[in-house]
Amino acid sequence: MKSKNQSAFYKRFLELQNKAKIKKYIYGILYYSLNTITFISTLYVAIIAVYFLAGNNSNYQNNENPYRLDFWKDSSNYILATTIINSLTSMISSLIAFFAINNKFRFYKEKFNLLKFEHLYYQTRKWIYFDQLDQENDFRLMKRALNILEIDRYKSSSFLYENKMNKEE
């Protein structure tokens, strides 16, 4: 681990690594929770359909159907319920597709793992960090982190904004 005298490049690398980790968890939670909601609502529609069909079966003795509910006697209730649930399922699926949550989750998951490996190389002074000075290694680590995260350090407005905020502090 680095001492108290961490360079600005190393501190910036740790910030980038932390932000990638946070984004990985956010997109992962969004992706899995929305997919779970979609799956559960689809399953619920199937259960409603089976229950509705079983309730409308008139082949029971004495016309005593144990699945018949007053709510399902009117077929328009069934149609409304399944339409509402299907539209919600479609909306959630379109949100997943529109925002490409799965792709973003995979991107940040992969990039975070690469940043962890890069940090291990840096800490153990292996590969390109083998025989360089600490300041050169710090700069190289920062430069490689920007490259891994596909951040153009000269054109990224968020990177420039954060540098401006850091100067004001």
* Global model pTM greater than 0.85: no
Report if residue 61 sits inside a domain.
yes
Report if residue 3 sits inside a domain.
no
Report if residue 33 sits inside a domain.
yes
Report if residue 159 sits inside a domain.
yes
Tell me, what's the pLDDT at 18? 92
Instruction: Give pLDDT tens digits along the chain (169 positions).
Output: 445 467 888 888 888 899 999 999 998 898 888 888 888 888 888 888 777 777 776 777 777 776 677 766 666 777 777 788 888 888 887 777 767 777 888 888 898 898 898 888 888 888 777 777 777 888 888 888 888 887 776 665 555 555 565 566 5
Report if residue 1 sits inside a domain.
no
Number of compact structural domains in the chain: 1
State the residue range of the domain holding 75: 8-168
Contact 31, 95 (CB under 8 A): no
